């Protein structure tokens, strides 16, 4: 079997193991450490966004960063990712490498920077277009690992055309996931990785709760529309068992205050009544008073 195919499959399998262990937001340290293959270390990232490990002749991954020079994004007109060339020379070796990946229909790993040093791993992705006028490659996301037909000298995979609605749908769903993970990482970082109600600091047990729910037209993905909450208090907040006033005071619903049902209710919920929300370090990240007022009026109705 071609070593290129072996390395790509090994990379996908290794990423799946990391996602199972750490979640789908991976740190740069994990990606830089990479995996072992035939006695060689194969990292997934490098200083350049288009990365070819030493063991391969063609790129294995493409990366975006939160403070990079390029505007890599999903464009609504076609629903696919547009990944910028490296620089403005179409014949730069990195761009030539990606063009060869496109010609051979090879799968790639796409690492989307959410916060400094944190990436959402998306794989496999395929280059489905090369726009030299706009200096971009068009990228499609698939929802399963590739199946290849192998011959003595090459292998190939047939993928759908850019217009295939299935791939457009999958890529659109990835866009939603990117927005959700980005919102979570930004909010949890703003609140110093703790629950704003109870101070629980286990990041794996924390969520970024929307004040105005994300299915509402008034909602935004800005930090000030989020609160870092543990899973218990997120559920209680969404169920209107707990509310937060525009002055950042936590309120417990009246009927809950009258209940007697063990230590979790007493200390985990009732004990929060009239305590103050733990706020972010930066005042610009404080919850929007307008959003809290909108939400608290619905809490009072409940």
- Percent of the chain scoring above 90 in pLDDT: 63
Return the pLDDT at 174. Answer: 76
Burial (Cβ within 10 Å: 0-12, 13-18, ≥19) of residue 168:
middle
Neighbours of 56 (CB within 10 A): 17
Return the pLDDT at 68. Answer: 54
Asked if the model's pLDDT at residue 283 lies above 90, the reply is yes
Q: Which helix (H) or strand (E) holds 293?
A: helix 289-301
Partners of 83 in beta bridges: 137
Contact 171, 177 (CB under 8 A): no
Q: What CA–CA distance (Å, rounded) separates 263 from 191?
A: 26
Asked if the model's pLDDT at residue 246 lies above 50, the reply is yes
DSSP 31-85: HHH-EEETTEEE-S--SSSEE--TT-SS--EEEE-TT-SS--EE-TTT-SEEEEP
Q: Give Cα separations from 226 to 45, 210, 219, 290 (angstroms).
A: 30, 5, 10, 13
Q: What CA–CA distance (Å, rounded) separates 287 from 211?
A: 8
The tally of CA atoms less than 13 A away on the side-chain side of residue 215 is: 1
pLDDT in tens, 33-65: 999 999 999 999 998 899 999 999 999 999 988
Asked if the model's pLDDT at residue 119 lies above 90, the reply is yes
| Higher pLDDT, residue 76 or 291 | 291
Return the pLDDT at 197. Answer: 98
Asked if the model's pLDDT at residue 146 lies above 70, the reply is no
Q: Which domains does the chain have, with CATH numbers?
A: 3-183 (2.30.280), 193-301 (no CATH)
Mean pLDDT, residues 267-283 taken together: 95
Token pair 């006695």 is at which residue?
Answer: 39
DSSP character for 125? E
């Amino acid at each position: 079997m071609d070593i290129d195919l072996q390395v790509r499959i090994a990379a996908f399998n290794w990423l799946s193991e990391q996602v199972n262990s750490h979640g789908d937001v991976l740190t740069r340290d994990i990606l830089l450490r990479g995996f072992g293959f035939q006695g060689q270390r194969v990292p997934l990232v490098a200083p350049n966004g288009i990365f070819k490990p030493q063991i391969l002749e063609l790129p294995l991954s493409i990366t975006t960063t939160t403070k990079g020079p390029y505007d890599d994004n999903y464009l609504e007109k076609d629903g696919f990712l547009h990944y910028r060339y490296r620089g403005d020379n179409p014949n730069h070796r990195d761009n030539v490498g990606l063009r060869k990946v496109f010609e051979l229909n090879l799968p790639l790993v796409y690492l989307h920077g959410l916060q400094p040093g944190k990436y959402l791993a998306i794989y496999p992705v395929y280059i489905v277009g090369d726009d030299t006028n706009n200096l971009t490659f068009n990228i499609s996301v698939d929802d399963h690992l590739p199946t290849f037909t192998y011959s003595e000298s090459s292998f190939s995979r047939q993928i759908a055309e850019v217009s295939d609605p299935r791939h457009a749908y999958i890529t659109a769903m990835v866009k939603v996931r990117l927005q959700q993970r980005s919102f979570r990482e930004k909010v949890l970082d703003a609140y110093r990785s703790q629950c704003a109600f109870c101070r629980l600091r286990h990041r794996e047990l924390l969520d970024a709760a929307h004040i105005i729910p994300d299915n509402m037209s008034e909602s935004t993905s800005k930090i000030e529309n989020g609160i870092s909450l543990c899973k218990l208090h997120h559920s209680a907040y969404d169920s209107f068992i707990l509310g937060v006033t525009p002055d950042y005071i936590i309120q417990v619903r009246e009927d809950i205050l009258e209940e007697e049902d063990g230590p979790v209710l007493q200390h985990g919920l009732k004990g929060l009544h009239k305590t103050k929300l733990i706020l972010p370090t930066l005042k610009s990240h404080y919850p929007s008073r307008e959003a809290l007022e909108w939400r608290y009026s619905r809490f009072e109705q409940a």
